[in-house]
Amino acid sequence: RMRVVSVENGQIIGSKESIRKNDKKQCGVTLLNTGDIPSVEVMADGCFKLCSWELANYMSPHFDLVEMELYKVKVKEYADKAEEAANAAEKGDLDKAYMMYYAIYQKDAYNPELLYNLGILNEAVGNYSDAKEMYSGALSLKSSEDDYQKAVRRIEKALAYTEALKAMGVSVTR
């Protein structure tokens, strides 16, 4: 358990708890012979090593490289315009790509590939709440898609991190 405390007034401005279980197993079965189980110190050290990264990441900013692949829009009526938007995004013109995808979205709001792509563009610029809305929409339309599930989990972590920073008085601006 870790607490971040203000040195000015002693106020707790952040708190994080990490729990890990450590037992010795052989072939998937916990050994009952106490001579085969590591000492408490050895198990505690192993748990500390696992938890220390989680606790350290709570305190300090860290970055994960996430490669996001835009999906091809399969509806023939919008495929060419969507391809043009994807090319704009690949060239780094996210504003143009967003406007093009959004124009299609206004005509076809129930296209999971389009929603996912809008989620990617929102996430790329730090607009996490809109990204979550788009990813969640894509997932509700196509719940079996692994990329959509991962995107929702990733954006929920980003939103939680932003809230934790806000609770500590750290403002994140774009």
What's the pTM? 0.68
Where b means 16+ CB within 10 Å and e means fewer, 144-164 reads: ebebbeebbebbeebeebbee
For residue 166, what pLDDT is reported?
82
How do residues 129-168 score in pLDDT, each as one tens digit? 999 999 999 999 999 999 999 999 999 999 988 887 787 7
